[in-house]
Amino acid sequence: MALPQRSPLAKHWMLDSNCVFLNHGSFGATPTAVREEQRNWQDLLEAEPVRFYEDLAMGFMQDARKSLASMLHCDAEDLALVENATTGVNTVLRSLEFNEGDEILVPDHAYQACRNAIDYVASRWGAKVVTVNIPFPIDGPQVVIDTIIAGVSERTVLAMIDTVTSPTGLRMPFEELVPLLEGRGVSVLLDAAHGIGMVPLYLDNLGASYTTSNCHKWLCAPKGSAFLHVRKDHQLKIHPLTISHGMTFPLGDTTRFRHEFDWTGTRDISAFCSIPAAIEYLPTLVEGGWSAIMQHNHDLVVKGRKILCDRLGIEAPCPESMITCIATLRLPAGGGAGIPLHEPDPLHQVLQEKYNIQVPVWSWESPKGRYFRISAQLYNHVDEYHYLAEALAAELGC
């Protein structure tokens, strides 16, 4: 099969032109201009390391937080820059104190690494992890709301909710869930790894206790850029995973929260410094700014999903309103019995090696099946989904 057409915008990314890249969801992909920006920051650092860290770094990080805050509709002072969403989740969980028997609520569609962090912390404090099962296929968001609220008890102190789930690509009704949970005295840790650049976020209005999001996914910032937003009333108890000078540094006109998170030891902050460039750059590629980018990616993934469903004879597992820029589908019946979790699925290798397609394929228990997930970003073209559909049809004999 001849390789599919690429979007004219693909030239702005560093992606290999022979790769049909349908997995923006895992690690994102950074445009060339944003990578150049990052290199400039690294060059500036190495030109005068002491001046960079002692005189300039705090200001650069403040610029990054301000730029994020304008997109997130929140106070820049409530944002900490962290390397990734896993760190954001761990930072919160490992700062909190729990009583024996306290309940932490988590849907079964949560990202496994973050679920591991919950299990680890819960076992240390004697807290109980309550898993709620979200159906998949699913009819609509109300089922999610009802299922999660039904899992709340008098002992529930924390709930980890996704903006968009990783295994199932479902847009959670987090705008409804956060006030419902917080109103019942349950602090929400919003796992918005798939968040900024993918769904509009109004953090001050939302009122979640804690929100973490990757900037290297849908904002297309360099790898290792993410934020943790902590509501003001929780800031005194949340500390970075690495305790450093910030714990004792004189406060001046800032807060302990700011000091502690801004300095966690010597590290490469070039990814953070490049966040403003990423926020400004992507909207130069299309008319209509970030909302147009989100709409474009949504429309494209909806088209891609339909192409795959039609060609493979499978049903879409959720309404279009519940997908953003990623979509999970279950392989058709001929798709095999399933490979144990943690083992690479051979179909993923075949797609990569024989067809140059990068798309995740895995087996999952909830419900049991073999799944794959497509994504859409400005660099994708509708032909790429046709190409994937033909490759899957050939391999599965549909």
Ligand X SMILES: Cc1ncc(COP(=O)(O)O)c(C=O)c1O
Residue 328 binds to ligand X (criterion: CB under 6 A): no
CB of 86: closest distance to ligand X in angstroms? 3
Q: Which of 64, 74, 114, 198 binds ligand X (CB under 6 A)?
A: 114
Residue 166 binds to ligand X (criterion: CB under 6 A): yes
Where does this chain touch ligand X (CB under 6 A) — which range of 60-68, 129-137, 138-146, 187-195?
187-195
By the 10 Å C-beta count (0-12 exposed, 13-18 middle, 19+ buried), 131 is classed as middle
Nearest residue (CB) to ligand X, 132 versus 312: 132
User: Helix, strand or coil for residue 326?
Assistant: strand
Question: Cα–Cα distance between 119 and 125 in angstroms, integer?
Answer: 10
Q: Which residue has the tokens 């206790």?
A: 209
58-87 residues in contact with ligand X (CB under 6 A) are: 84-86
Integer-rounded Cα radius of gyration of the chain: 21
Q: Which of 60, 98, 111, 210 binds ligand X (CB under 6 A)?
A: 111
Query: Whose CA is closest to 168, among 27, 372, 381?
Result: 372
Nearest residue (CB) to ligand X, 226 versus 357: 226
Q: Which of 181, 193, 215, 374 binds ligand X (CB under 6 A)?
A: 193
Nearest residue (CB) to ligand X, 110 versus 308: 110
Number of residues this chain uses to bind ligand X (CB under 6 A): 13
User: Helix, strand or coil for residue 89?
Assistant: helix
CB of 106: closest distance to ligand X in angstroms? 12
* Number of Cβ atoms within 10 Å of the Cβ of 80: 25
Residue 194 binds to ligand X (criterion: CB under 6 A): yes
Residue 214 binds to ligand X (criterion: CB under 6 A): yes
Contacts of 380 (CB under 8 A, 6+ apart): 7, 10, 21, 22, 300, 304
Contacts of 309 (CB under 8 A, 6+ apart): 315, 316, 329
Nearest residue (CB) to ligand X, 193 versus 376: 193
Site residues (vs ligand X, CB under 6 A): 26, 84-86, 111, 113-114, 162, 166, 191, 193-194, 214
